[in-house]
Amino acid sequence: MRMSPMRVSPMHTARFLRAVSALLLGLAVLFTASPAGAAAPAGGSAASAVRVLRYDASRAAEFRAVMDQAAQVWNADVANVRLVAGTPADFVVLADNGWPRTSVTRLGRGTIWMGREATAEGYYPLRIATHEIGHILGLPDRRTGLCTDLMSGHSAPVSCTNANPSAAERRAVDANFAGSALAAGERTGRLFVDRADAAGDLVPAP
């Protein structure tokens, strides 16, 4: 007895091909997505490299809002450190009737005094605030006399209202907070007073 060959209908063939295509497509998506998933932790670690510094300006009196503005100036200009208001604070801001000054205990930590003496002479409060934060971020005074240099301080004209760090100052801060460079860039036990009678950038604490 002879058996007739099995015939496969076109409908069954089409279903089989669709199933195979779906399987291959699923495998392609799986293998394509895997590298992206593996790369995610690297991106996460890069984001976590940003150092967050908390500051407390609750005792800065009339300069509190100015300090918040100054923090935002730095946040917009540098990538490796971010300033946020909060406690416990890495640095605190006070107000008094003396000259503005900053005591740095280590990189990112210290005390800022927003002295009214400078504003009484006509110096721009926001420039003073960003300048003093610059010391907290590891920048020394640079008395270049240029308004474009934030750290030129009072050596720039009283009329200077530039409150933004220069490109070189931005690079220096990012370098100070660049991962392994943190320890090497730290300054300890320094008091910065930007006035004519200051010896270099260091004078005895008042």
The reply to whether 21 falls in a domain is: no
Query: Cβ distance 127 to 157 under 8 Å?
Result: no
Is residue 59 in some structural domain?
yes
Evaluated on CA atoms 143, 130, 64, 185, the torsion sign reads negative
Check: CB of residue 155 under 8 Å from CB of residue 195. no
d(CA 174, CA 170): 6
pLDDT, residue 179, reads: 76
Q: Confirm whether 30 is domain-assigned.
A: no
Residue 12 is assigned to a structural domain of this protein: no
Could you tell me the CA-to-CA distances from 131 to 36, 38, 45, 128 in Å, in that order?
42, 42, 30, 5
Which residues are 94's β-sheet partners? 59, 113
The overall average pLDDT reported for the chain is 80
**Catalytic site positions:** 132
Residue 85 belongs to some domain of the structure = yes
Residue 134 confidence (pLDDT): 98
pLDDT below 50 — which residues of the chain? Answer: 8, 29-47, 183-185, 199-206
Q: Is residue 153 assigned to a domain?
A: yes
pLDDT at site 96: 97
Q: CB of 54 within 8 A of CB of 68?
A: no
pLDDT tens digits along 10-69: 555 556 556 555 555 555 544 444 333 334 334 444 445 899 999 999 999 999 999 999
**Residue at 37 is within a domain:** no
Does the model's pTM come out above 0.95?
A: no
Q: Residue 142's domain is classified under what CATH number?
A: 3.40.390.10
Structural domain containing residue 94? 51-178+186-195
Candidates 113, 147, 146; CA nearest to 132 is 113
Omega of the bond leading into 88 within 30 degrees of 0 (cis): yes
Q: Does a structural domain hold residue 74?
A: yes
How many domains in the chain?
1
